[in-house]
Amino acid sequence: MDFGRAFSFVFEDPDWLKKVAIAGLVMLIPVIGQLVVLGWALNITKRVMDGSSYVLPDIDFGGDLGRGFMAFVIGFVYSLPVTLVSSFMGIVNSVLGMNMDSDSSAIAILIMILFSCLGIFSFLYGIFIALLLPAAYTRYLEENSLGAAFNLSKVFAMVKANIGAYFIVLLGMICASLVSSLGVIACAIGVIFTSAYATAVIGHLYGQAYVDTKRKLGAAVI
C-alpha cells in the first residue's frame, strides 16, 4: 500500500479545489449531505479498485446518496452489538438507580464495574469494526450487493489475509481525522475543505486495501 498517495492523489486532479469544495458544501446538508459525501468517498474507493486513472470524481448526488445509504446500513448492522449492549446497560443503570438508597454503595460499585466493562468492550469492538468495515464496504462495491458485505466468512478472510493493510487503513483514518480537525483553525471555511479532503483520503485507503488484499488472496477467492 502507498500510504502517502492516499493523501496526495487529490491534488493530481486539475479540478481538485472545485470538487473538494463542492463535497464540503454538500456535507453541510443535515444527514443527507453526510450520506452523499460518504457515497462520494466510496466512489473513490471503487475507482481505485478498478484501477481508474481518474480517481477523484465529481459529486453525483443521486448515485452517491444511494451508495452512502447502503454504507450507512452496513455500518449500522456491524455496530449493532455495541448499540444493543449500551441500551441494555442503560436499562440496568435505570433499574438499579431507582433501587438505590443511602446504603447502596454495593449497587454503585456494581454500576461502576458494569460501565467499565462496557467501556472496554466498546473500545475493543470499535477497533474490530474499524478493521472489518473497509473489507465489508469493498465487498459491497465489488458485487453491488448488501449480501456481499454481510458474507462474514469472506470479509474475515480478507482482513485475516492482510491484517497489516487494514491496520494501515485504521492509521490513515486517525491521521485523516487529525487533518480534518485542522480546519477549525481556519474557522468554518477550513472545516468545509478539510472534512471533505479527509473523507476522500479514507476512500482511497479503502480501495488500496482491497487491491492489496486481492493481490494476496487472488480474484477468485474475493
pLDDT in tens, 29-61: 999 999 999 999 999 999 999 998 788 999 999
Return the pLDDT at 220.
46
What CA–CA distance (Å, rounded) separates 9 from 159? 25
What number is the average pLDDT over the span 93-117? 68
What CA–CA distance (Å, rounded) separates 12 from 54? 9
pLDDT band at 116 (very low <50, low <70, confident <90, very high): confident
What CA–CA distance (Å, rounded) separates 165 from 100? 49
Amino acid identity of residue 207, one-letter, is G
Above 50 in pLDDT, residue 221?
A: no
Percent of the chain with pLDDT over 70: 88
Helix (H, G, I), strand (E, B) or coil at 90: helix
Look at the block and give the residue holding cell 448515485: 63
Q: At what angle do helices 105-143 and 187-217 cross, to 10 degrees?
A: 70
Return the pLDDT at 222.
47
